A and B are shown apart, each in its own frame.
Chain A
């Protein structure tokens, strides 16, 4: 094995997690390679330094606090259970489906009826209005004795 491969396996070698033949091969290599030996030494040193961490040695009231928490949870759980216990499990999904279904039906009904009686002009009435405005009858004389006819007559008399 080359140094590159050895270095990649040094971690597992240090942990003695390699098969026996690989362990022996690396051991042989380390006897003759100072660079790889140095790399192993550094890894091992770091491994030892890692022991310098804060450690909890005892936890005297751990069980007391845990049992208290467990009781609290059981009380909460049982109070919820007493509320929901009489209701069968399938009731919740069935109820949800029913609510959604009725919501959908009411939505469709309202959608169809809200605009049904509205006063929006129908397409035919718009067309009629356009015909009236733009037809040739727009240029006819005003009906006799209508306000417009009287007004036009007065204007023409003034001009004369």
Chain B
């Protein structure tokens, strides 16, 4: 309890600025990877993750122990990631090279991959990563968020519901639809891989 996240936040609230480093070291990888799932770009993910911790530092004076710290942390991260995606979509819309790459190429690339061999080389491994990433990216935002929090950050349905301020039933239904969509999109890949 002495060094729980909540305790560290309360110390930060009381002006102990050094504890921020401990909070960052504890959570940087989970926040970074969560940002990476949304951005697909390491630099953008790092920028966003830093922004998350800056927000936490700025919000520390107003911090109150309501929900768990990680739920609060993931809520801030998801909000920033969604804003990032919105900005990116607007920029893409107005850019001359406007393409919906991740959406229209997913199925073609899956079929392409399915016709190939096992991912035993680095290149093929990266190709597979890209396919999975694109399949996730092609999901609607609400399904994608729930899936990422559950699959990669190991949040329970209840924790996701708290983080996104929705009901547990909504989490269950979004996750069901996300899995169903991914099953259709990744069917050919799955059949080619030994699990």
Contact = CB atoms under 8 A, between A and B. Distances in A.
Interface of A: 8, 10-12, 14-15, 17, 42-43, 45-50, 52-59, 62-63, 65-67, 69-70, 73
B82 to A, nearest CB: 19
Looking at A12, A53, A69, which has the most chain B CB atoms within 10 Å of its CB?
A53
Given A43-B183, A69-B54, A62 B133 contact: no
Given A53-B129, A53-B132, A73-B54, A62 B49 contact: yes
Contact of A47 (B32, B45, B179): B179
B70 interface: no
Interface residues of B, number: 42
Nearest to B181: A46
B75 interface: no
B16 to A, nearest CB: 15
Interface of B: 21, 24-25, 28-29, 32-33, 36-37, 42, 45-46, 49-50, 53-54, 57, 119, 125, 128-129, 132-133, 136, 150-152, 156-157, 172, 175-176, 179-180, 182-183, 186-187, 189-190, 193, 195
B175 A56 contact: no
B159 to A, nearest CB: 11
A52 B182 CA distance: 14
Contacts of A52: 119, 125, 128-129, 132
B28 A50 contact: no
B50 A48 contact: no
Interface of A is mostly: helix
Contacts of B21: 63, 67
B129 A54 contact: yes
A56 B33 contact: yes
Shortest 7 CB-CB contacts between residues of A and residues of B: A11-B176, A45-B190, A48-B195, A56-B32, A66-B50, A17-B157, A11-B179
B54 A59 contact: no
10 contacts: A12-B175, A14-B179, A42-B190, A46-B179, A50-B151, A56-B33, A59-B49, A66-B54, A67-B21, A69-B54
Given A54-B133, A70-B54, A70-B57, A62 B32 contact: yes
Contacts of A55: 33, 36
